[in-house]
Chain A
């Protein structure tokens, strides 16, 4: 018998959407769920499907229900469909429908646009699970391994969230889209995931932390914009997803901070003051700071590409239609229609980067990217405080938005991390001064050894300051089978 028959869809799926009375979604889910489980077995964490993992499960959206901790086998995880509680008399906050009641059903004229938003968002969620599926085997501790798996099951739950919207509101097309979300594969040349950064490799744990810090932060910004949507089910879905996304960024930010901390402490203890003495630092079994900077350069630039072209008709249409707002829309003081406003956009004019005022409506991607850059910079500042405390003379910095870009204004040119436009040959000659080289990758890979003793940490990363769910330092977060 297939797994599908073992699931009682009406009771076993945590939800606050009245699933047991929703025949249409139930029927669609029954068809989709076996394929989903196949996908999880094929593409979920490799080698840990039978392990018991101390995971947080959301069974309700209230304060009591959103964080139930217990040991779970990941294929048995209770992926649920949870929407933030409805806001009474909610109205659309922007665009040409500003002030009208929020839609509870999809307006026919915006069906295609909304569907595309759901599909693109939905496509990113399983992609990161696929990218990270081998990392369990090199986890630096059971604590980190558990965090990885928590991120994985939640990304998968985010897939469920988008699949629910597609199945509930978009008819046959939506059901087909939901199937297709299981067919694409990160990095597969034949059926790649839709966005570039989600087809890149996540080869090691530093990449994983960088990814959750930089790329999941793009996810946060996108969800923040969709949380403002005039389509109420999308808004409520994404609002609840944001509570989970915050944890992913916590994993990334503290993960990199712990790597930095370990490196700085090791340098200090060994009396190495020269951050560029890479060989000496690496001999200590820790990752040198310049390599960490290169990783940051790579992941930041890949993540900027996810915001699309600076000037975007699609973004303008979605905003005007009331489907996708701005970051913290309600805190912005303007007319929330933007028909006559402008926004400064960094553009390439005659080979030079200059700021040009563009119609605000078409510059929404640029604005969201600016919000993102500020948000990321705040996290970087916290990393730098870790370095400062150890007295090592180094600061992590964000490269220019012109650096290493494949999408947008700066895609056709090359720039150094300071934003100075340079010849392609110069860039290629210096590529590995700014971006990780294969040798850097080999070195990091050489450090990646699984630690399975509770409370033990690999030598290249510092232990966390506190445990998950207030557990003690030697807590067995994963019971390996």
Chain B
């Protein structure tokens, strides 16, 4: 079964999205029988990937299609339960790879919510009207403001350690300690107490922002939504950007989008993603941007690339190397890049730019070896150059190859290369790349807007190697063959280490530290062995632990 990340509100089974004026409500009422796979029922508003795909879609549409929405209330459509978190039977029945991809995707979606709260003037409010456990609390933690009903029973909890012998893998612990800055011993109590923390204590410990009796709950949520609205800079009147269904064609060894083409060489465990530059320049003004996604090149490219990355992660696990190529006129890309930079404060331009940042982070976090091929006729300029900088290795073609009359390969940095699209560590890809040579960044700034040839790009350290037509084919082939021969696990670990030099942020901790531990714990018999807690959950049998501390 191919897992598809395309959906729209009319097709949601688990969420409803309703807007009224400046406030949107996202209501979770999970269809128990609507699991993505067989073998489990989504009880108590627990979720699986299918539920989260809808949330991801809703978050995205709210940003683009609803310029008027300034606050988003997440609430439950079920009585006395907010959300019980990721479905345990689903987790217990999933392959390790699926679990990891699932956790990664849910984290990325939570980050997108925080990104909207921080940068889009669209703040998220969690309205917790009942039990809120595990991933349910992690969902709330991703919101800007948490309101918990004070009814003597409703609690927020992270029961992963005590019940399942795993960790809250969707950023739970990290958001408790780093975002909400909860004292470490209190965080320790929270994470080892199955029933969680409720009422005033939850407020006192900063686990939630407000506790309100049931009779005042709706009023408190409305008041908070109102307050968020006032603080937002989103436009009062503008038409939204319609996110149209993606143009996609699935073939056995190829996925064709309008601007992105993915081809597979399965024997070599290799995929090639080719992105196409724009056919024309940008509109005159932001107001002239066509409000249909398919008609605005940077947005449609980002959407297609995002979908292609998710498809690769979930549906093509055997692909070990992804190589990026591009085709197009770098001058037109630079024109679009300049347009995005010039109008950065316009809400829609800002959304497109923030979306590209998220797509690039998704590239950074894709556990495949990434290679950039900067060839003749390519257009890696401005924000598209981020793709080259995101790769583990990059080769750039030097000069004209025999029998090829396309323009020489060129690479161009712009203002957007210097921090408009930061990585999870908070730095630009250039700053991360030249962490030991901050003065080199100043040198690079001088090249802003210049179409750099292969020699210059290699000289400036922007690509791994420049190769002429004598060396090109062999260099690339040797790299690919060698890479494909290594252990995929070791490569995943290696690349996760080399890609994220520099400071730790909450995001890097979530993806690096937390999920590395979580993945290790997921593999251990204490969780997933025949007597492991996760495996035995729901049978009533008690887990048997190997008591050795490792």
A residues in contact (CB < 8 Å) with B: 96, 112, 115-116, 180, 183-184, 189-192, 194, 313, 315-317, 319-321, 338-339, 359, 361-362
Smallest CB–CB gap between B361 and chain A, Å?
37
Q: Is the CB of B195 within 8 A of A359?
A: no
Q: Once the chains are docked, how many angstroms separate the CA of A315 from the CA of B539?
A: 10
Digit string of B364-380 for contact with A (CB within 8 Å is 1, else 0)?
Answer: 00000000000000000
Given contacts A112-B195, A189-B215, A190-B214, contact A316 B538 (CB under 8 A): yes
Chain B residues lying within 8 Å of A315, measured Cβ to Cβ, are: 540
**Residue B461 CB within 8 A of the other chain:** no
Given contacts A112-B162, A189-B214, A191-B213, contact A321 B542 (CB under 8 A): yes
Smallest CB–CB gap between A410 and chain B, Å?
14
Chain B residues lying within 8 Å of A339, measured Cβ to Cβ, are: 541
Least CB separation from A176: chain B residue:
B201
Q: Is the CB of A362 within 8 A of B539?
A: yes
In the complex, given contacts A315-B540, A339-B541, what are 16 additional A-B residue pairs having Cβ atoms less than 8 angstroms apart?
A96-B542, A112-B193, A184-B152, A190-B213, A191-B151, A192-B152, A313-B537, A313-B538, A313-B540, A316-B541, A319-B540, A320-B541, A359-B539, A359-B540, A361-B541, A362-B539
Chain A residues lying within 8 Å of B538, measured Cβ to Cβ, are: 313, 316, 362
Chain B residues lying within 8 Å of A316, measured Cβ to Cβ, are: 538-541
Q: Which of B162, B195, B214, B539 contacts A116 (CB 8 A)?
A: B195
Least CB separation from A412: chain B residue:
B32
The 4 tightest CB contacts between A and B, nearest first, are: A316-B540, A190-B213, A361-B540, A320-B540
Least CB separation from A319: chain B residue:
B540
**Residue B456 CB within 8 A of the other chain:** no
Q: Which of B150, B151, B194, B540 contacts A362 (CB 8 A)?
A: B540
Q: Is the CB of B540 within 8 A of A317?
A: yes
Digit string of B197-221 for contact with A (CB within 8 Å is 1, else 0)?
Answer: 0000000000000000111000000
Least CB separation from B217: chain A residue:
A190
**Residue B280 CB within 8 A of the other chain:** no
Chain B residues lying within 8 Å of A194, measured Cβ to Cβ, are: 153
Interface size grouping (class) on chain B? 10 to 19
Q: Is the CB of A190 within 8 A of B150?
A: yes
**Interface of chain B, main secondary structure:** loop
Least CB separation from B193: chain A residue:
A112
Q: Is the CB of B151 within 8 A of A192?
A: yes
The residues in B between 520 and 550 inclusive whose CB is less than 8 angstroms from any CB of A are 537-542
Least CB separation from A359: chain B residue:
B539
User: Can you spell out 10 A-B residue pairs with CB atoms less than 8 angstroms apart?
Assistant: A96-B541, A189-B215, A190-B213, A190-B214, A194-B153, A316-B538, A316-B540, A320-B540, A361-B539, A362-B538
Q: Which of B152, B213, B540, B541 contacts A180 (CB 8 A)?
A: B152
Least CB separation from B541: chain A residue:
A320
Q: Is the CB of B540 within 8 A of A190?
A: no
Q: Is the CB of B542 within 8 A of A190?
A: no
Chain A residues lying within 8 Å of B213, measured Cβ to Cβ, are: 190-191
Smallest CB–CB gap between B38 and chain A, Å?
14
Chain A residues lying within 8 Å of B537, measured Cβ to Cβ, are: 313
Q: Is the CB of B195 within 8 A of A190?
A: no
Least CB separation from A191: chain B residue:
B152
Chain B residues lying within 8 Å of A115, measured Cβ to Cβ, are: 195
Q: Once the chains are docked, how many angstroms separate the CA of A233 from the CA of B162?
A: 25
Q: Once the chains are docked, how many angstroms separate the CA of A191 from the CA of B200?
A: 14
Q: Once the chains are docked, how many angstroms separate the CA of A319 from the CA of B542?
A: 11
Q: Is the CB of A190 within 8 A of B215?
A: yes
Chain B residues lying within 8 Å of A321, measured Cβ to Cβ, are: 542
Least CB separation from A364: chain B residue:
B540
Chain B residues lying within 8 Å of A359, measured Cβ to Cβ, are: 539-540
Q: Once the chains are docked, how many angstroms separate the CA of A115 from the CA of B151?
A: 19
Q: Once the chains are docked, how many angstroms separate the CA of A319 from the CA of B215?
A: 37
Smallest CB–CB gap between B533 and chain A, Å?
11
Least CB separation from B199: chain A residue:
A180
Smallest CB–CB gap between A97 and chain B, Å?
10
Smallest CB–CB gap between B89 and chain A, Å?
10
Least CB separation from A313: chain B residue:
B538
Q: Once the chains are docked, how many angstroms separate the CA of A313 from the CA of B44?
A: 13
Least CB separation from B41: chain A residue:
A311
Chain A residues lying within 8 Å of B215, measured Cβ to Cβ, are: 189-190
Chain A residues lying within 8 Å of B541, measured Cβ to Cβ, are: 96, 316, 320, 339, 361
Smallest CB–CB gap between A39 and chain B, Å?
14
Chain A residues lying within 8 Å of B150, measured Cβ to Cβ, are: 190-191
Q: Once the chains are docked, how many angstroms separate the CA of A317 from the CA of B541?
A: 7
Least CB separation from A192: chain B residue:
B151
Q: Which of B152, B540, B542 contacts A183 (CB 8 A)?
A: B152
Q: Once the chains are docked, how many angstroms separate the CA of A286 from the CA of B151?
A: 41
